[in-house]
Amino acid sequence: MDVIEIIKVSKDSLMSNKVRSFLTMLGVIIGVAAVILLVSIGEGARTYIHRELGNLGTNILIVVPGKTSAKGGFHPPEASTVRKLIYDDALLIKRRAKHVDDAVPLMFGSAKVKYLNQSRDNSIAGSTETYFSIRNLKVDSGRFITGSEVDAKRKVCILGRTVKRDLFGDKNALGALVSIGDSKYRVVGVMEKKGVTLGIDFDDIVFIPTTAAQELFDTDRLFNITIKVKSASELHEATEEVKQILIKRHAGKEDFTVMSQDEMLGVMNKILNIMTAVLAGIAAISLVVGGIGIMNIMLVSVRERTREIGIRKALGAKNSDILLQFLVESMTLSLIGGTGGILFAGTVSFIIPYFIEFLPTQLELWSIVLAFLFSAAVGIFFGVYPARKASLYDPITALRYE
């Protein structure tokens, strides 16, 4: 038998049991689609995180209180290493670090915000005038906080879009007095819609000067110091500068952590790589299950066609012809299933972002090729035993089979 004849016979055999063939391929379709989709979601999440961090500014360093390890592992903080960062730390970094453009002392807390009979518990961010440009934040109306307002501890505020809507509705908020905690703050700006970025809803924040936030929260403890480095090539030098300045100021102790966006991306990438690999591995198990289904059906097919095998051998078919015929049938099931899985995964991956905006997807060619090759390997691996069993049938015994 030539190859074309073998393929024709295999096709006729599969088409004679359409439902059974489809159900057998379904396991491979689901397995291939699951692998591709999970990798697609993982890569989409990676792209989303990179984009969102980029939208929050570039060449950024963040100093947080307390010393933590950047190399993984859990290390309980020691009481002696936890020391607060204060406003003067940021001023010193800005004044002395040659590779730094700006250092913003940032405070976070919550307080009740009220206007007339409307009130809500809200996140409050204390910042300086340059924080908005560092983080690529824009106002829709009004203006940002000014340096003189920070120095004078002026009680002014900028409302996020959600806060403005809930307190003022369609009214103009500029110039109005709102109560934040026990004090009155004048609204000088309304933020442009930003939405949720990496879990932070910028539309639901009220911005006030850092110095006013110190009085509001009755503390000089900073949440972090956000630093703008002059250029990406100077990140390492800036990090070392900041460390030396703060170590000297903190009596020789490195009781703080300086993190760059690259380091944060590195940690997130590691987490995403592990999650994607684990989920893709779990999905690949369904491919193996699909392969077992192929083996089972091929064994059934061999038993059902025992007399056919005997007749073919009696007419001169070689063991290799029978082996190849059943192997082709097995591979056809897995390859058609693999192709169906790729088409299904591609369609679903394209549709998902339209219905679930926070779940981005990104199809990767390597995942498609890998899933397809794996489905072909499954067809060969699980088809060899039934095909070999069929090829070794004794023609006389096969012809007597009922």
87 in a structural domain: no
Residues 286 and 374 in one domain: yes
DSSP 181: T
Q: Which of 96, 67, 303, 113 is nearest to 207 (CA)?
A: 113
From 179, 201, 228, the end of a domain falls on: 228
Please tell me the total count of domains within the chain: 2
* pLDDT tens per residue across span 19-60: 878 888 888 888 888 888 888 888 887 777 777 776 666 688
% of residues, the chain, pLDDT over 90:
26
- Asked if residue 200 and residue 140 are part of one domain, the reply reads yes
More confident call, 268 vs 133:
133
Q: Give the number of other Cβ atoms within 10 Å of residue 379's Cβ.
A: 28
pLDDT at res. 265: 73
Residue 132 pLDDT more than 80?
yes
Domain hosting residue 195, numbered range: 102-228
Q: Are residues 372 and 307 in the same domain?
A: yes
> Does the residue 86 lie in any domain?
no
**Whether residue 79 has pLDDT greater than 50:** no
- Quote the mean pLDDT of the chain: 82
Q: Is residue 248 part of a domain?
A: no
Q: What pLDDT score does 193 carry? A: 87
- The answer to whether 280 and 272 have CB atoms below 8 angstroms apart is no
- Strands 183-191 and 139-142, by their bridges, are antiparallel
Which segment, 16-30, 59-73, 236-250, 304-318, is predicted with the most confidence on average?
Answer: 236-250
Is this prediction's pTM over 0.75?
no
Question: Does residue 161 sit in the same domain as residue 273?
Answer: no
Whether residue 61 contacts residue 259, with contact meaning beta carbons closer than 8 Å, is answered with yes
pLDDT of residue 398: 55
Are 141 and 199 in the same domain?
yes
pLDDT at 159: 94
Q: Flag whether 92 is in a domain.
A: no
**Binning pLDDT at 50, 70 and 90, where does residue 275 land?**
confident
Closest by alpha carbon to 325, among 10, 1, 4?
A: 10
Least-confidence region, from 138-152, 157-171, 227-241, 353-367: 353-367
Q: Are residues 271 and 353 in the same domain?
A: yes
Query: What pLDDT was estimated at residue 72?
Result: 45
In this prediction, residue 180 has a pLDDT band, given cuts at 50, 70 and 90, of very high
Q: Please check whether residues 223 and 312 belong to one and the same domain.
A: no
* 224, 282: one domain: no
Q: Are residues 278 and 367 in the same domain?
A: yes
**Tokens at residue 283, please?**
């999905």
Tell me: do 224 and 305 sit in the same domain. no
Q: Which residue has the higher pLDDT, 219 or 390?
A: 219
94 occurs within a structural domain = no
Q: How does residue 301 score in pLDDT terms, banded at 50, 70 and 90?
A: confident
pLDDT for 74 beyond 50: no
Same domain? For 394 and 289 the reply is: yes
